[in-house]
Each structure stands twice: as structure tokens, then as C-alpha cells.
Structure 1
């Protein structure tokens, strides 16, 4: 009986997790490098469950360098149309970052994460 109860609870948990799957697909585009003391464009394309562009959302992102604790880079993303949102980030260090993304769309909020790496632009 104990095994059956554990199995039943596990199945319910899996079903609940599946029902709360991501409402959005986010395609994050970042440059491979940045130039110190210059804003770096960060772009996201946001699609709904059916693959249609999400328009009219309020989007923001906090960029956090992994393993460091010298503050997040906060960005409000500006809508450019067809599900594309763009923000500007002022990077101080190269490394691995996590973008904590907030989407407020039709009264509902969604939180997600994307990871990326960026290096100094050595051509300068």
C-alpha cells in the first residue's frame, strides 16, 4: 500500500508540473563580446505556446554574473514589434551570466532564466 501511495503522489506531482509548463518560449540573443563603458544590446524574441509572437508585454531582465556578488544589471526591455524586445546592458566584466526574465502579459506574471557568456571586445 505504501508503494502505491508513493507512486500515486509521484504521478500527481508529474501531472501538476506538466500543467504549469512555460507559457513562453524565449530566444535570447546577446553579442559574443562587449566594449567597456559602452551599452551592449540584449534582445529577446518571445513566443507563446502556439509559437506566435507575444506583443504588448512588459518585459524586464536582471543580469547576474555567476559566482560574483557585485550587483545585478537591471534592464527594462523595449518592445520593437513581432515579439522582439530589446534592452541595453553595461557590462563591467566578462564571464557567465544568468538573465532572470520577468514577463507581465495580460495580467499574469511569468519568471524565467536564460544563461549566456560574454567576453571583452579585444579589437578596441
Structure 2
């Protein structure tokens, strides 16, 4: 293998490593069940790459039910302190959802996904 090929491989590895770094750790907390026509709290804790709480970010999430096309549930998340952000969602159906999370923090924009499941609250 010549020196040029080795240089190309090293550059590709550096690019792959840089692109795969994750700027934030998101911990999503959702209730196991919901009550129709009532708001359900969705909470997330956002940490930076050093594990410190992210404070003062603009955070939003779009919830989409997997395999269905009845529209997204959009939420602007409100900061409650210590890197915790909370939003309210009104679910119509139980099932598997994907939360597309957008974070804008100190000019840095990030988009990621988390998945969760929720069922109808049968205690009503």
C-alpha cells in the first residue's frame, strides 16, 4: 500500500470520527400511559459532552407515531432547571412514537431522535 492510500484512509477515519461525535446526551422521560383529551407531560434532561446540564437552550420536539400519518404533535419545551426541559402533548392513539428533538444552544444546532411507547390509560 502506498503512502497516498494510507493518507486517504487516515483522512477518512478522521472525518468519520468527527461526524459521529454527539454534542448532547438526551434522557427522555415519558409516562407509560395517557388519558385522551388531556395533556401528557414529556420531560427530557439534556447534558453536554462533559455530562454537565445544558441550561438556557431552545428546545422543541415533534412527536410522530410510527407507521401512521395523522400528523405530528409539536411541542416547545420549557426549561425547569438543571438541564431539565418539559413539554405537554395530547395523544390520540397508543403506540410507538419517535420524538424528533431540536436543540439550539449557544449558536450550536442539533437534531436527534428518541423512541418511546405509550398506552391508553385504562383506569378511567
Same fold per TM (> 0.5)? Answer: yes
Residue 117 of structure 1 pairs with residue 122 of structure 2: no
Residue 94 of structure 1 pairs with residue 94 of structure 2: yes
Any stretches of 5+ residues in structure 2 without a counterpart? Answer: none
Residue 52 of structure 1 aligns to a residue whose secondary structure is coil
Q: Deviations over 1:93-119 (max 9, x none)?
A: 000000000000001110000000000
Q: Deviations over 1:12-40 (max 9, x none)?
A: 33422322311000000000000000000
Structure 1 moving runs of 4+ over 4 Å: 7-11
Please state how far the C-alpha of 1:8 moved relative to its aligned partner: 5.8
Q: What is the TM-score of this pair, normalised by structure 1?
A: 0.91
Whole-Å Cα distance in 1 between the matches of residues 29 and 18 of structure 2? 28
Residue 107 of structure 1 pairs with residue 107 of structure 2: yes
Any stretches of 5+ residues in structure 1 without a counterpart? Answer: none
Q: Deviations over 1:66-116 (max 9, x none)?
A: 111110000000000100000000000000000000000001110000000
Whole-Å Cα distance in 2 between the matches of residues 102 and 11 of structure 1? 32
Residue 12 of structure 1 aligns to a residue whose secondary structure is helix
Q: What is the TM-score of this pair, normalised by structure 2?
A: 0.91
Whole-Å Cα distance in 1 between the matches of residues 10 and 89 of structure 2? 43
Residue 109 of structure 1 aligns to a residue whose secondary structure is strand
- Tell me which residue corresponds to 1:32: 32
Whole-Å Cα distance in 1 between the matches of residues 120 and 69 of structure 2? 19
